[in-house]
A and B are shown apart, each in its own frame.
Chain A
């Protein structure tokens, strides 16, 4: 059947380009959300002091934080300016990874991506891969970020504790060095009225940094910077520091976020194994040439 289709193929591409179907909406957008393109020429109010609270959405549109082919600032696209400063171990580990996107992509049936099947993507991959609508909550002791993607959350402590490092002076209620975590250990502080900086370590090295298979070691150190230039915006910058894998720190993400109304309801985006199994059986495996039915 498909051979017949191909045999009779004509310039579909040209047809598609010349006659695109009518669109149901001009710009993809999350219902109820406000983006920067909705408020051109605006003059936002000043940023409140030491305040990150609220629901934040990528300011450029709902997909502005979706980084399919790798960390937004350094996608795996073969361009020389996006070549990461790998150490020999870093390059070796990167080559051993088999992602489904980027210059080393393989068909899904051959991937060794640790995330499919609803395994934890952890931090920082959640931000280097798929940053969607998120709510930030502040208490006197911590900053909590609730991520839409896979319905995850993490805590950045602001109570003065240090990142775990000293076996003789445990700071987290358990001996140091701590057990590794999918989401690491995070502490943060305000460095000026409108800039909050967090650092994280103690990661489980089974996760990848991004969707393109960039590696990290158990020595990964992540620096997050949140700068609020005005009431309505937050500038998020993520820097990767992992001397075992990279010869120098590199900026992985710069993403501008926009404040939404406090009543904004973040949709559920859960990774359910039962649904993933159905998807794999009905679609992904046949698409990859595997017939499990």
Chain B
């Protein structure tokens, strides 16, 4: 498994793309919604369930250290509306993932987007792309 961090990008910027996630039961307070981190990783679990799906994956840094990440999406109905499915990700898939990280520095975040092994990009719905909107800013479920 040769996976390395392709971007170490966590800059602060204005939220030009309104952070209007499709769903999130647990609110925005834990997340650094102005940041994005993009990396390559290997899927270790894709949990497809309410209240939220989440993806577990390993990222190998340049130093060789492997970091285990967990990143959530919204619930299955919302993700289907964005083109995802229970079969979108499989254990062992090597993917490029952009996450909105948590503030506490742990390797945890929300998925803004995933590029699948076949090159297809899936919008995570958490403000990574325009159009993933609830009626109000913030998320729901």
Contact = CB atoms under 8 A, between A and B. Distances in A.
A14 B13 CA distance: 7
Report the interface size class on chain B. 35 or more
Please classify the interface of chain A as helix (H, G, I), strand (E, B), loop, or mixed, using the class held by over half of its residues. Answer: loop
B76 to A, nearest CB: 7
A79 B134 CA distance: 18
Nearest to B17: A17
A9 B8 contact: yes
B135 A2 contact: no
Nearest to B36: A12
B10 A63 contact: no
A21 B123 contact: yes
Contacts of B91: none
Contacts of A17: 13, 16-17
Chain B binding surface SS class: loop
A107 B8 contact: no
Contacts of B135: 63-68, 72, 75
B93 interface: no
A27 B131 contact: yes
Contacts of B125: 28
Contact of A108 (B13, B29, B76, B80): B29
Interface in B28-74: 28-31, 34-38, 47, 49-52, 54, 56, 61, 65, 67, 70, 72
A110 to B, nearest CB: 9
Interface string A49-90: 000000000000111111111101001010000000000000
Contacts of A77: 136-137
Contacts of B14: 13
B84 to A, nearest CB: 9
A165 interface: no
A32 to B, nearest CB: 11
Interface stretch (A168-176, A201-209, A237-245, A284-292): A284-292
Band of interface residues on A: 35 or more
Interface string A122-158: 0000000110100000000000000010000000000
A95 interface: no
B10 A1 contact: no
Nearest to A284: B26
Contacts of A279: 47, 49, 51-52, 54, 72
Contacts of A28: 22, 78, 81-82, 123, 125, 131-133
Interface in A1-32: 1-6, 8-17, 20-31
A13 B141 CA distance: 26
Contacts of A101: 27-28, 138-140
Contact of B81 (A30, A70, A106, A282): A30
B25 interface: yes
A67 B138 CA distance: 9
Interface stretch (A39-47, A189-197, A221-229, A269-277): A269-277
Given A21-B129, A23-B121, 6 more contacts: A6-B10, A9-B8, A13-B11, A21-B121, A24-B83, A24-B123
Q: Which 8 A-B pairs have the closest CB atoms?
A: A13-B13, A100-B27, A12-B9, A68-B140, A66-B134, A108-B26, A24-B83, A9-B10
Interface of A: 1-6, 8-17, 20-31, 61-70, 72, 75, 77, 99-102, 105-108, 111, 116, 129-130, 132, 148, 211, 267, 269-272, 275-276, 278-279, 282-284, 286-289
26 contacts: A2-B105, A2-B107, A3-B105, A8-B9, A9-B10, A10-B11, A12-B13, A12-B38, A15-B9, A16-B17, A16-B98, A21-B115, A28-B133, A63-B133, A68-B134, A100-B26, A101-B139, A101-B140, A106-B29, A108-B29, A108-B30, A275-B50, A279-B51, A279-B54, A282-B47, A288-B26
